[in-house]
Amino acid sequence: MAKLKLAVYWGAACGGCDVSILDLHEKILKIGELADIVLWPLAADPKYSDIEAMEDKTIDLCLFNGAVRNSENLEIAELLRRKSKILVSLGSCACFGGIPGLGNLFNKKEIFNSVYLDREFNANEEQIVPKAKVTVPEGELTLPEFYNTVSSLEQVVDVDYFIPGCPPPPDLLWKAIEAIVSGNLPPKGSVIAGDKALCHECPRKREGRKVKEFKRLVDVILDEEICILEQGVVCNGPATRGGCGARCVRANIPCRGCFGPIEDALDQGTQLLSAIASTIDSDNPEEIKKITDQLADPAGTFYRFSLPVSMLKRRKEEGEE
């Protein structure tokens, strides 16, 4: 059998997904046997021009991690789509926008101000912020354009499969690679993960208890046996796709929601919000307000990984219809 051609790329990402590929450990050698790596910025040094020079659909499998945050991300996403037979959205950022997607609560100007100008540690007397084009005596320099809005990969190009997770668990990644190598492909659009929400595979005991207060993780020592939500700590498990093996809750950490919404879910954040609201043990509006005020950063908690693909998508801009 001819060797497969494999591309791995990162958009707006932290690099964790690339590292999770390395987490395949000795199986990575197997990948070396099965495939030629035509692009992997983290580990190898091919050029974009090499990819551009290829015939369309030359690459057998492209693992694209990271969100689409700037014009370079978009350009390469489109390029790799053209050149790849199978494009896999790898990790929460590519699948749902991920943590960079929380940038949609702001806009480009606010982000630049915050990063380059307003902070105590900014030493930027000339008030320089990145520009897509700048002219210097030697000529014109360009940078990718930074977008106002973060998108998931699927929002910009057609995607064949999704492997969620922050980072994706190596066993799911391996499962996907095996399926592709063996030609035993799942239906297009499949999410390589569980079908039900995390609670289904959570080993903790649940009784449907309600809570009188919400606590932050730093303020409690969690019981290891009882449902985290019933201990008054927000856990995103009820509205988050399972299949991760309940890694976090087994480590006594609440689910952060990285596997994103479950199949056909309307909106992970609002569904979480209503599930969390239903655990509040009070009928008194004032007391309920007091309890909900204890929820720190609701947008960042409930939409932690999925804001760009939610019904909200982003904060409404002034003057926007």
Partner 1 sequence: MSERIGVFVCHCGTNISSVVDVEQVAKDAGGWDNVTVAMDYKYMCSDPGQELIQSKIKEHNLTRVVVAACSPRMHGPTFKKTLERVGVNGYLMEMANIREQCAWTSDPGELATEKATALTRAAVKRVNFHQPIKESEVSVNKATLVVGAGIAGIQTALQIASAGYPVYLVEKEAYIGGHMAQFDKTFPTMDCSACVLTPKMVDVNQDPNIDLFTNSQVVGVEGYVGNFKVKVRTEPRYVNLKTCTGCGDCVSACVMKDRIPSEFDEGLGKRSAIYIPFPQAVPLKAVVDKESCLFLAKGKCKQTCIEACQVNAINFQEEEKFTELEVGSIVLATGYKLFDPSIGPQWGYGLYDNVITGIQFERLANASGPTGGKLVLKDGSQPQRVAIMHCIGSRDENYYAHCSRVCCMSSVKFAHQIKEKTGAEVYEFYIDMRCFGKQYEEFYNRVQEEGVQFIRGKGSEVVEVDGQLTVRAEDTLLGVFREIPVDMVILNNALIPQEDSDQVASLFGLCSGEDGFFLEAHIKLAPVNTAVDGVFLAGCCQSPKDIPDTVAQASAAAAQALSAIALGKVKLSPVRAAVEASRCSGCMSCVNICPYGAVGFDKEQKVSVINQALCKGCGTCGAACPTGAITTSHFTREQIMAQIEGVCAQ
The backbone torsions φ and ψ at residue 260, rounded to the nearest 5 degrees and listed phi first, read 75, -170
Question: Please, what is the minimum distance in Å from the beta carbon of residue 99 to partner 1?
Answer: 21
| Dist. CA 246–CA 249, nearest whole Å | 6
Question: Please, what is the minimum distance in Å from the beta carbon of residue 100 to partner 1?
Answer: 24
Question: Please, what is the minimum distance in Å from the beta carbon of residue 219 to partner 1?
Answer: 23
Closest CA to 267 of 235, 312, 200: 312
| Dist. CA 228–CA 242, nearest whole Å | 16
Contact 167, 16 (CB under 8 A): yes
Return the number of the residue (150 or 198) whose C-beta is nearest partner 1: 198
Q: Which spans of this chain sit near partner 1 (rule: CB under 8 A)? A: 195-200, 206-210, 229, 237-239, 242, 262-266, 271-272, 274-275, 277-279
Return the number of the residue (77 or 255) whose C-beta is nearest partner 1: 255
Question: Please, what is the minimum distance in Å from the beta carbon of residue 273 to partner 1?
Answer: 9
Return the number of the residue (100 or 238) whose C-beta is nearest partner 1: 238
How close are the terminal C-alpha atoms of the chain, in Å? 55
Return the number of the residue (183 or 208) whose C-beta is nearest partner 1: 208
Residue 103 vs residues 5, 10, 23, 239: alpha-carbon distances, Å: 34, 18, 28, 22
Question: Please, what is the minimum distance in Å from the beta carbon of residue 210 to partner 1?
Answer: 6
Segments of the chain assigned E as strands: 4-10, 35-39, 59-65, 68-70, 84-90, 133-136, 139-142, 146-151, 161-163
Question: Please, what is the minimum distance in Å from the beta carbon of residue 289 to partner 1?
Answer: 18
Question: Please, what is the minimum distance in Å from the beta carbon of residue 172 to partner 1?
Answer: 18
Return the number of the residue (12 or 272) whose C-beta is nearest partner 1: 272
Return the number of the residue (80 or 228) whose C-beta is nearest partner 1: 228
Long-range contacts at 292-300 (CB < 8 A, ≥ 24 apart): 292/214, 294/213, 294/214, 294/215, 295/214, 295/234, 296/216, 298/273, 299/102, 299/105, 299/269, 300/102, 300/105
Return the number of the residue (4 or 229) whose C-beta is nearest partner 1: 229
